[in-house]
Chains A and B, each alone.
Chain A
Amino acid sequence: DIQMTQSPSTLSASVGDRVTITCRASQYLSNSLAWYQQKPGKAPKLLIFEASSLVSGVPSRFSGSGSGTEYTLIISSLQPDDAATYYCHQYKGYIESSFGQGTNVEIK
């Protein structure tokens, strides 16, 4: 099983700040890594797939990077609408995939 360690669990930042969320995997993922945004009462929404590919329609302030076992989601200029919980997701495992624990992003 591939374990995902996501950090931080919570962060508070101001509008316009650059925000970084990290996920570390227990095995190499070959860039089979996605990032989701989830708001209360809603289904998760895919933001980034294959570590760095931005989903069509997602604002360009969101970006993903990384390789091997360490991956990062960056919000270049935090906006009020970005208040949400963010999850990384590895899908390299043929049998099963797994999620990080989530990062709750609050706006100061």
Chain B
Amino acid sequence: EVQLLESGGGLVQPGGSLRLSCAASGFTFSSYSMTWVRQAPGRGLEWVSRITWTGTGTYYIDSVRGRFTISRDNSKNTLYVQMNSLRVEDTAVYYCATGRNANWDSDAFHFWGQGTMVTVSS
């Protein structure tokens, strides 16, 4: 059974940093692109960042480029996002998600974690 478990969320002041993790199990993690999706309180879903299965390709939405860094450790079956220079508007539930097709660059998100809440506030 595929499982994705996010952790690392919390309260941080504007300008601060946070690193989120997503522990994966139940599939060959190293063969799948992974994505972070966020949802601000009362708002819709927003694609944030994606990393290819090798880790050599990383992509970001404009509003986080230069502040967030996505990475993965295939030996630990774990996805990360390092979030620096956090802003109030980064406040959201952050989900990790993946598809069902190995070695695909674009796929529907068949599997989601439960999400971790990030609150940026003074």
Which residues of A are in contact with B by a Cβ distance under 8 Å?
32, 34, 36, 38, 43-46, 49-50, 55, 85, 87, 89, 91-102
Contact = CB atoms under 8 A, between A and B. Distances in A.
Interface class of chain A by DSSP:
loop
Interface of B: 35, 37, 44-47, 50, 59-61, 95, 105-110, 112-115
A85 B106 CA distance: 24
Contacts of B106: 32, 91-94, 97
A34 B112 contact: no
Nearest to B111: A46
Contacts of A55: 110
Given A96-B59, A96-B61, A46 B109 contact: yes
Contacts of A49: 108, 110
Nearest to A6: B44
Contact of B108 (A46, A98, A102): A46
A55 B105 CA distance: 20
Contacts of A34: 108-109
A89 B44 contact: no
Contacts of B108: 34, 46, 49-50, 89, 91
Contacts of A101: 44
Contacts of B109: 34, 36, 44, 46, 89
